[in-house]
């Protein structure tokens, strides 16, 4: 058996063992990326997240062509908000809160237009979409079971936002024994400084939470 292909990464090469790698696309939802959505209602500059879409579109195509399992996630809540902790509902001082009507339907509520994934990154039929009530993709979801059943051990992690749902998910995955490569130009934050430092946090100390590389390096290794 030939050794796995590797991606040049920080802090060292990241292996892509055949049949064991999945691409995770976290929360690329209209509510976070489009003007007027939840993200902007919190006072954020959504253009900071929109820059992720072109490189992630290319990486998604490369991952599909290479036959990787692609898993999408969406942050959001049931229409009666019973899965949303009161503290999450109250937190911050948004002009619009989770469950309130917004330009794209009720903010971060499952089934609403704004809760769904942006058109450019729409899941293909058959690609799993994990609906999650929290920031981490493992908490209160079937993601762990899904990855175990598929034999996945290595995750290419993309999506938004770098220091919130991406970080929480990578930390959860790390504790569950997954090797995670965070794709630097395919994750984004409303805060450039948090993005930069968030990436450093992943690969510091010999890769305390995982690896970091650009999408060009990942696509080259996949092709
Ligand atoms: C946030 C996320 N930032 N997907 N959600 O609230 O990162």
pLDDT digits (tens, 9 = 90+) for 62-91: 999 999 999 999 999 999 999 999 999 887
Which of residues 93 and 12 earns the better pLDDT score?
A: 12
pLDDT above 80 (res 96): no
pLDDT in tens, 145-165: 999 999 999 999 999 999 999
Q: Whose CA is nearest to atom 6 of ligand 1?
A: 164
pLDDT above 80 (res 25): yes
Model pLDDT, residue 93: 61
Cβ partners under 8 Å of residue 194, min gap 6: 161, 162, 163
Q: Whose CA is nearest to atom 2 of ligand 1?
A: 165
Report the alpha-carbon angle 72-200-142, nearest 5.
Answer: 25
Cα–Cα distance measured from residue 218 to residue 37, given in angstroms and rounded to the nearest whole number? 31
Check if the beta carbon of residue 161 is closer than 8 Å to that of residue 50.
Answer: no
Per-residue confidence band for 43, with pLDDT thresholds at 50, 70 and 90: confident
For residue 165, the CA-to-ligand 1 centroid distance in Å is 5
Model pLDDT, residue 97: 86
Residue of 114, 165, 168, 169 to mutate, ligand 1, most atoms within 8 A of C-beta: 165
pLDDT above 80 (res 92): no
Q: Whose CA is nearest to atom 4 of ligand 1?
A: 165
Q: Hey, which residues are catalytic here? A: 27, 132, 165
The set of protein residues with a Cβ atom below 6 angstroms from ligand 1 is: 27, 32, 75, 135, 160-161, 164-165
Per-residue confidence band for 4, with pLDDT thresholds at 50, 70 and 90: confident
Which of residues 196 and 1 earns the better pLDDT score?
A: 196
Report in angstroms the alpha-carbon separations of 40 from 63, 86, 165: 30, 21, 17
Ligand 1 atom at shortest distance from the alpha carbon of 29: 4
Per-residue confidence band for 3, with pLDDT thresholds at 50, 70 and 90: confident
Model pLDDT, residue 23: 99
pLDDT above 90 (res 183): yes
Sheet containing 179-188: which strands, arranged edge to edge? Answer: 129-132, 69-75, 21-26, 154-160, 179-188, 211-213
The arithmetic mean of pLDDT across residues 138-146, rounded, is: 98
Ligand 1 atom at shortest distance from the alpha carbon of 38: 6
pLDDT above 90 (res 37): no
Cα–Cα distance measured from residue 59 to residue 221, given in angstroms and rounded to the nearest whole number? 11
Residue of 161, 163, 191 to mutate, ligand 1, most atoms within 8 A of C-beta: 161
For residue 32, the CA-to-ligand 1 centroid distance in Å is 7
Ligand 1 atom at shortest distance from the alpha carbon of 159: 4
For residue 63, the CA-to-ligand 1 centroid distance in Å is 24
Ligand 1 atom at shortest distance from the alpha carbon of 190: 3
Percentage helix, strand, coil for the chain under 3-state DSSP, each rounded to 5: 35, 25, 40
For residue 155, the CA-to-ligand 1 centroid distance in Å is 19
The arithmetic mean of pLDDT across residues 21-27, rounded, is: 99
3 state SS of 173? helix
């Amino acid at each position: 058996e030939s050794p796995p292909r590797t991606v040049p990464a920080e802090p060292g090469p990241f292996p892509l063992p055949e049949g064991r790698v999945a691409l995770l696309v976290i929360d690329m939802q209209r509510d976070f990326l489009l003007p007027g959505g939840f993200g902007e209602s919190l006072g954020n500059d959504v253009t900071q997240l929109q820059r992720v879409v072109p490189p992630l579109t290319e990486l998604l195509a490369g991952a599909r062509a290479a036959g990787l399992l692609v898993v999408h996630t969406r942050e959001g809540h049931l229409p009666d908000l019973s899965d949303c902790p009161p503290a999450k509902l109250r937190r911050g001082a948004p002009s619009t809160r989770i469950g309130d009507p917004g330009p794209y339907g009720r903010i971060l509520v499952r089934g609403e237009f704004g809760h769904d994934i942006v058109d450019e990154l729409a899941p293909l039929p058959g690609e799993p979409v994990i609906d999650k009530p929290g920031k981490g993709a493992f908490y209160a979801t079937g993601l762990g079971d899904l990855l175990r059943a598929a034999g996945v051990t290595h995750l290419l992690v993309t999506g938004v936002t770098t220091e919130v749902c991406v970080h929480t998910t990578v930390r959860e995955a790390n504790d569950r024994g997954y090797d995670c490569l965070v794709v630097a130009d395919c994750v984004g934050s409303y805060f450039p400084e948090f993005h930069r430092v968030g990436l450093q946090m992943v690969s510091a100390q010999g890769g305390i939470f995982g690896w970091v590389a650009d999408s060009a390096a990942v696509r080259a290794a996949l092709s």
